[in-house]
Structure 1
């Protein structure tokens, strides 16, 4: 169990550093160029990390093709908007807004799955919303497009989680290959149409390779963690990304959240933990999926 928790913490640390590199690239490349090369290099690494018992040549064989396509479209939109958010607003604020995803899952569970939601989950929703207000403080300062992009990413992340509940028996290779295909085509065409594309310099290319490696390594470590440790034990490690966001933002980008923002981040983490604890008591497990966090 401890090994699984350690692997999950390592996965989210790698993801956070990859997001920090994406933020640094924002001043040199367009959102679509970053998305294209990140996906390209991540897919190269992921090609050699094929799930056990599956073959890439069978990726087109799907049990629920429309659900797989919807998951890919949702992941593509979240990836593009996520890069935009990371490159335009502070890391801590981006993560704070993206961590609204579990709260959107609660709302979508009511609307789509017709689930009954008790007072504990509503309390978690209220706490998470209050935490975001403390971090972002709308009305006291201007909100940027990146803030709204991060909120949409949270909603798309929740949509992906709902979709994944119907894709439990689907091949991982099918979902990954479809998502990679969508991302490469869309970002490639968008980059060519909206910017005067030039080959990145060797330094930028090295950073892009590193972001792809972070995506692939984080994905692989997540899968390994879920194999040796129950998901409800490692799900709380997701919130370690907020701590990394504060550290990376302060050290490399001179982003120093004030004490109110730090309290807000703690409240958001507490809301997520409350949801996890309540689900564990109610169901004995947490319906958490490693694909819910995917930088592709």
Structure 2
């Protein structure tokens, strides 16, 4: 591995660490702010990354320019559902459990690619999907524990991220990076902004701190992913996302006093193995730099 590629991999690890800190920040709000409001401010603070997303010769209006308006709008909607799903998950679940379910994203990508892109799915990728969903059953233990809205939120977040990836594949190389990023921000700011109005409460000083941490750290993570993707291929930039699970366990233990039981550990191992196998088997890849802010695995 040459020096540039090694730097790219290191930057991707730093990016996913920033994402984990962003998720910890939104969890620290602990329901004090409505998810619509958190998503809105996540989009507002995400504007800080725009100067780093713009390529030479591009202008701000290119964030709203697109080759396919319907898919651009769907991308914006997925940014909203993804953010709301992940915020809900981190608010009601431990960080490790939330990430565990969010990491169903690769399995969802496989299924959506089969249905909408008519991709050929080999037995190894099917095996990865089965292993991933088996891991989810181990984690959730249906019939043996009470499930809550956080579990639904995590699944919605992972599914929304998967739809975003499939949309990027459908658009191919025709869409500007700033357009994909701008669609995500527009969805969060406009849709979440309207939905938050009935229950809007002005944040106090501490809540402003966590909201800023949530949005700005996600923006920093996006910039780092862009820098990593410029130095290393996507096949090396994507796998480090699973390091978020390590950070989730550490932050969960130190900050939120979470405990990781054996079923959770086994289920997590199965889901991570499923995701890594899917990444290794995929032949068509999408630049990770185009991922939406505040949607991760994003």
TM-score (norm 2): 0.91
Tell me, which stretches of 5 or more residues in structure 2 are unaligned? none
CA RMSD for the aligned pairs?
Answer: 1.7
CA distance in 2, matches of 1:145, 1:203: 25
Q: Deviations over 1:93-122 (max 9, x none)?
A: 111111111101111111111122111011
Structure 1 residue 249 displacement after superposition: 1.1
CA distance in 1, matches of 2:29, 2:108: 30
Structure 1 residue 288 displacement after superposition: 5.3
SS in 1 for 2:38: helix
Aligned mate of 1:235, from 215, 222, 238: 238
Residues 78, 157 of structure 1: 8 Å contact kept? yes
Aligned mate of 1:170, from 164, 168, 175: 175
CA distance in 2, matches of 1:178, 1:293: 8
CA distance in 2, matches of 1:123, 1:189: 42
Structure 1 residue 177 displacement after superposition: 2.4
The corresponding residue for 2:184 is 179
Q: Deviations over 1:50-84 (max 9, x none)?
A: 42222113333221121111111111111112111
Residues 42, 211 of structure 1: 8 Å contact kept? no
CA distance in 2, matches of 1:230, 1:91: 29
Residues 93, 136 of structure 1: 8 Å contact kept? no
Residues 185, 293 of structure 2: 8 Å contact kept? no
Residues 180, 290 of structure 2: 8 Å contact kept? no
1:1-296 to 2 correspondences below 5 Å: 1-43=5-47, 45-53=48-56, 54-167=58-171, 168-193=173-198, 195=199, 197-279=200-282, 283=283, 286-287=285-286, 289-292=288-291, 294-295=293-294
CA distance in 1, matches of 2:174, 2:119: 22
CA 1:275/1:288 → structure 2, altered by over 3 Å: closer, same or farther? farther
CA distance in 1, matches of 2:55, 2:76: 22
CA 1:31/1:135 → structure 2, altered by over 3 Å: closer, same or farther? same
TM-score (norm 1): 0.92
Aligned residues: 289
CA distance in 2, matches of 1:129, 1:253: 27
Residues 79, 187 of structure 2: 8 Å contact kept? no
Residues 50, 56 of structure 1: 8 Å contact kept? no
SS in 1 for 2:185: helix
Tell me, which stretches of 5 or more residues in structure 1 are unaligned? none
Structure 1 residue 31 displacement after superposition: 1.0
Structure 1 residue 286 displacement after superposition: 4.1
CA distance in 2, matches of 1:139, 1:15: 32
